Homo-oligomer: A and B are copies of this chain.
């Protein structure tokens, strides 16, 4: 294997893990580490603080460095730093899903121009081998569908809500106390993190650029303990699913939202902070890849894996890994959520009057919505009833119109939640 000299940008939890893992490989030498605060105490044995710099451009301009590993996160100033590294002919290994989702196509074009490669196994699903397998051993496949749990924080919260009947707020608080969720949890709980990963994964799976702004996104903040209970009674778990699929007309449907997942489905069985990706392709069929989606060690496995592959390839060729070069010229034609077809779970609070269920049925029928299951369990103390409906495959815009019409009826007090269903 070729010896490689590395500059590391970012030295938080993940960066420290990468440093520790790479130290054990004789052919890898870390020349410099860019950090925010050069004086911060680091809990690493025998650490040479001379490695540190607070100027990342010392790394990107260092002619000795072959590869820049970026685990700093954020789009700015990281984009400019990596641009500079690429112009200086450094190969890039990055875990930065947000950067790739928002400005990846600029970076890949620049990398192509400069004859360097960008590897990013760690950007999607931490330690799970997915990016390189799709580009190599699975490359004979036409991938038509991705359904994945790509965010550990939200899966942890939903697991606790399901296991212990907790409210969203209580489960979030517990996740924050245990370090699974950040103080400002927006990026996770509103689905941004999963959407970035899905954009990256969809691009390489479907061979089209994905516009991150056109990914429909819904987080888990509106899921109630009651939703989870009703879903369970009907044989489902609620998971935040990142979904990407190629439709028959070639258009692409990419979105992140909570779904009821039938409890027999393997994705329903993925608990706590674990990630899992189901890929459907021809000829391979369904694959489900499961593992730790975050954390210093799993992420380091992917960063170091990319680096060792590069070192091995550079031993025999100046143009390593042609299959990993991203070269998508066209944007996917992404459809709007209103044009998608789904089965739905609708939770409705109705007044305890005769005819509420009749009204729901009539409105659904009028909007081409077939009801599969309907459940009402008794009457609440305030003389209302919760009615839960599961529909057959229906068009989202029809569902939205039906819900509007229901809300205009006096008998319907509230639409508690509308969730999509995966069987």
Nearest neighbor of A136 in chain B, beta-carbon distance: B309
Q: Which of B282, B304, B305, B320 contacts A316 (CB 8 A)?
A: B320
- A258 surroundings in chain B (CB, below 8 A): none
- A131 surroundings in chain B (CB, below 8 A): 137
Kindly state whether residue A46 has any CB partner on chain B within 8 Å: no
A301–B127 CB distance below 8 A = no
Kindly state whether residue A409 has any CB partner on chain B within 8 Å: no
Bound CA span A238–B290, Å: 22
- In A75-95, the 8 Å CB interface with B consists of none
Interface string of A301-313 (1 = CB under 8 A from B): 1101111110011
Q: Which of A195-203, A216-224, A292-300 contacts B (4 or more CB under 8 A)?
A: A292-300
Bound CA span A284–B141, Å: 26
Nearest neighbor of A297 in chain B, beta-carbon distance: B283
A284–B292 CB distance below 8 A = yes
Q: Which of B25, B266, B317 contacts A317 (CB 8 A)?
A: B317
Interface string of A262-293 (1 = CB under 8 A from B): 00001001000000000001111111111110
B288–A291 CB distance below 8 A = yes
Kindly state whether residue A138 has any CB partner on chain B within 8 Å: yes
Bound CA span A317–B319, Å: 8
- A301 surroundings in chain B (CB, below 8 A): 138, 140-141, 281, 283-285
B287–A290 CB distance below 8 A = yes
Interface size class of A (residues with CB under 8 A): 35 or more
Bound CA span A284–B133, Å: 16
Q: Which of B287, B306, B317 contacts A291 (CB 8 A)?
A: B287
Bound CA span A361–B136, Å: 55
Bound CA span A282–B138, Å: 25
- A118 surroundings in chain B (CB, below 8 A): none
Kindly state whether residue A315 has any CB partner on chain B within 8 Å: yes
Interface string of A330-354 (1 = CB under 8 A from B): 0000000000000000000000000
B302–A137 CB distance below 8 A = yes
Q: Which of B17, B137, B266 contacts A133 (CB 8 A)?
A: B137
Interface string of A115-141 (1 = CB under 8 A from B): 000000100000111011100111111
Q: Closest CB of chain B to A327's CB: distance in Å?
A: 13
Kindly state whether residue A358 has any CB partner on chain B within 8 Å: no
Q: Closest CB of chain B to A150's CB: distance in Å?
A: 15
Kindly state whether residue A323 has any CB partner on chain B within 8 Å: yes
Q: Closest CB of chain B to A311's CB: distance in Å?
A: 9
Q: Closest CB of chain B to A318's CB: distance in Å?
A: 8
Q: Closest CB of chain B to A79's CB: distance in Å?
A: 25
B127–A287 CB distance below 8 A = yes
Query: What are 9 pairs between A and B in contact, CB < 8 Å?
Result: A1-B322, A132-B137, A137-B305, A139-B309, A286-B292, A290-B290, A308-B323, A309-B323, A316-B318
Nearest 5 pairs of A and B residues by beta carbon: A140-B304, A283-B297, A317-B317, A284-B301, A137-B305
